[in-house]
Each structure stands twice: as C-alpha cells, then as structure tokens.
Amino acid sequence: MSTGSTDSDAAADAASGDGETPELYVESAIIMTTVRVVAPFILTFALFIMFHGADSPGGGCQGGVVAGSVVMTLAFAYGIDSTRQWLDGRVVAALASGGVFAFVGIGLGAMALGGQFLQYSEYEALFGQATKYAIELVELGIGAIVAAVAIGLFFLLAAGFDRDTEDDTV
C-alpha cells in the first residue's frame, strides 16, 4: 500500500467531498512565486500612492487599500490560516487605532499651539512647510487605518463565527 496515493486520495476527498466547505486554498508553486516576486512592488506602489498623494492622484485611503491588498495576495498564495499565524494581530490593531490617534493628535496639537482643531498652519511656528507635512502625516494616518481595517475585515470574514479554539492564542 503506497502512502502517497492514499494521501492524495484523502486530499481529493477533502477537496471535492460531500462538500459543505470546499477547500479554499490550493497550493501552487506558480502563485507562490509570483506573489513572492510581486508583493514588494505592490507595497512600494501603495507607499508611493500614500506619500505622493499630495502632488498626484491618490492619498491615504487608496494607498491604504493597496497596502492591505498585499496581505490578501499573501493569503491567496500561502493560505489564509498560515498568513494569519504569520501576521501579528496586535500590529493590525495598533495600526488602526494608531491612525485614528495620529489624526486626532495632529488636530489637538494645533489647538495646543493656540489654533483651532486641525488648523495645520499653527505648526509653521515649529518647522517650515508645516501644513504640507501635517497633511502628509494625516494621509499616512488614514492609510494606516484603511490598510489595517481592510486586513482585519479580510481575516474576520474568513474566520466567520466558528473560529476553532486552536486560534485563540493568536
């Protein structure tokens, strides 16, 4: 009895089976290689959209979505569960809340300097071209929120209601 054939039979049964939950993940060397090569470029493009949004089309929201999609392509290539184990949930949560805090903080900082909420020009007293850099920081904050929320929604929807107990420690 060859173990190889029974393994593949079992896999085929699991994949096609009576099938309430058909197997989502198909391991493919081509997809994995493509994603490994392309992912850094997607992330670079996302950061370009985010940082360059002040002078060209784009901005935090669009760049954040593209950055979040990097994790989705990784999950597509390597499987959602292994990507979830690789990714630290605390980083995602910190990005989402950090983005909101950065945005609010910039607004409150302007008030602390004597201006109104989100009045970036107040920062001119501290460093030159303050409005531009404050806008860039705000865009990065938005990008962090959107990227983290996109990743979070992805994993949450993938998990659904019955997450197994084995994932509780993640």
Partner 1 sequence: MTLTLIEAALLVFVLGCAVGAALLRDTLAAVMAFAAYSLGVSVLWLMLQAPDVGLTEAAVGAGIMTVLFLLALSNTASPDANRLLEPVRWRTVVPVAGFVLLIGATVPALPAIGDPNAAVVGGEVSQYYLENAYAETQVRNAVTAVLAAYRGFDTLGEGVVVFAAVVVTLSVLQQEVVA
- As to burial, measured by CB atoms within 10 angstroms (0-12 exposed, 13-18 middle, 19+ buried), residue 26 is exposed
123 binds partner 1, rule: CB under 8 A: no
Q: How far is the CB of 150 from partner 1 (least distance, A)?
A: 5
Point out which span in 2-10, 27-35, 36-44, 113-121 binds partner 1 (CB under 8 A): 113-121
129 binds partner 1, rule: CB under 8 A: yes
3-state secondary structure 65-92: HHHHHHHHHHHHHHCHHHHHHHCCHHHH
Looking at the Cβ atoms of 6 and 16, the one nearer to partner 1 is 16
68 binds partner 1, rule: CB under 8 A: yes
Q: How far is the CB of 4 from partner 1 (least distance, A)?
A: 29
Tell me 123's DSSP state. G
Residue for token digits 């940082």? Answer: 51
